[in-house]
């Protein structure tokens, strides 16, 4: 007599041994050392919340430390002085702009901005990955796309923010471009090093996109998409590179309009 024929008996559970399973803690540590195994696990059980929170905290730690080390008013003052509109402003107008930028409400918004920025990037990025995957006739859920975007972004963010905080204590604010550092951090691992962002904001934005940590994230994203939907590596790379190029074009366009490197 089979188990299912026994009154109150339960049929045997489906075999899931072929699918790797990892706890959230394991995925958060293994993404640095075994990313392929992590994404295979996330394909079965996609999740992103804890990784997103850690990325947000890392950005907030750098933001708060940066403002504390440099001085919030100094950052706002130099940003206004470096803006393209500064030449048309009187000193009184500049002082008024500085007072507006340093009032408690605006200051609180700047300190809390990483929360909004990370949330928007994760939500929009996942939607773009899902759309790009579906355009190539591959099936992926939004939750899986969220897992790929968040976990591929986590290592580059954590590493760069960690190095940024260290550099904040090793370098004096007088030794670097405060305005540029407030936007891109102090870690310089891109071709933007060779261009003056003030004189050539568009070129600086484009060259700054060729960043070591950014390509690390692209590698993880391509690996994540390949593992998540079992697509060829070439297809996964096509998706992430096309999206990256579109992002560079948009940022360069805004740099040209605003007159400041993005």
d(CA 143, CA 157): 21
Q: Would you tell me the crossing angle of helices 142-170 and 104-135 to the nearest 10 degrees?
A: 140
Other beta carbons less than 10 A from residue 98's beta carbon: 16
- The yes-or-no verdict on residue 181 having pLDDT over 60 is yes
Beta-carbon contacts of residue 46 (< 8 Å; ≥ 6 apart): 141, 143, 144, 146, 147, 228
Query: What does the pLDDT read at residue 236?
Result: 93
- Residues 13-33 have pLDDT tens digits of 334 445 568 889 999 999 999
Query: What does the pLDDT read at residue 96?
Result: 86
Q: Report pTM.
A: 0.85
- The yes-or-no verdict on residue 4 having pLDDT over 50 is no
């Amino acid at each position: 007599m089979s188990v299912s024929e026994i009154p109150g008996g339960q049929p045997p559970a489906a075999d899931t041994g072929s699918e790797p399973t990892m706890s959230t803690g394991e995925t958060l540590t293994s993404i640095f050392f075994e990313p392929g195994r992590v994404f295979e696990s996330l394909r079965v059980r996609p999740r992103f919340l804890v990784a997103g929170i850690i990325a947000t905290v890392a950005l907030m730690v750098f933001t708060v430390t940066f403002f504390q080390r440099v001085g919030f008013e100094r950052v706002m003052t130099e940003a206004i002085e470096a803006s393209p509109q500064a030449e048309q402003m009187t000193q009184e107008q500049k002082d008024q702009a500085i007072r507006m930028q340093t009032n408690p409400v605006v200051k609180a918004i700047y300190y809390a901005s990483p929360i909004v920025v990370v949330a928007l990037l994760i939500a929009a990025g996942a939607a773009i990955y899902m759309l790009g995957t579906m355009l190539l006739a591959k099936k992926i859920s939004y939750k899986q796309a969220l897992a790929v975007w968040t976990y591929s972004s986590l290592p580059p963010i954590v590493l760069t923010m960690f190095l940024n905080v260290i550099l904040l204590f090793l370098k004096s604010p007088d030794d670097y471009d405060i305005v540029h550092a407030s936007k891109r951090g102090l870690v310089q691992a891109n071709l933007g090093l060779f261009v003056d962002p003030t004189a050539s904001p568009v070129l600086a934005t484009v060259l700054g996109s060729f960043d070591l940590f950014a390509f690390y994230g692209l590698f993880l994203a391509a690996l994540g998409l390949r593992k998540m939907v079992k697509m060829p590596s070439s297809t996964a790379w096509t998706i992430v590179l096309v999206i990256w190029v579109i992002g560079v074009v948009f940022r360069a366009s805004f740099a040209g309009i605003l007159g400041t490197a993005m």
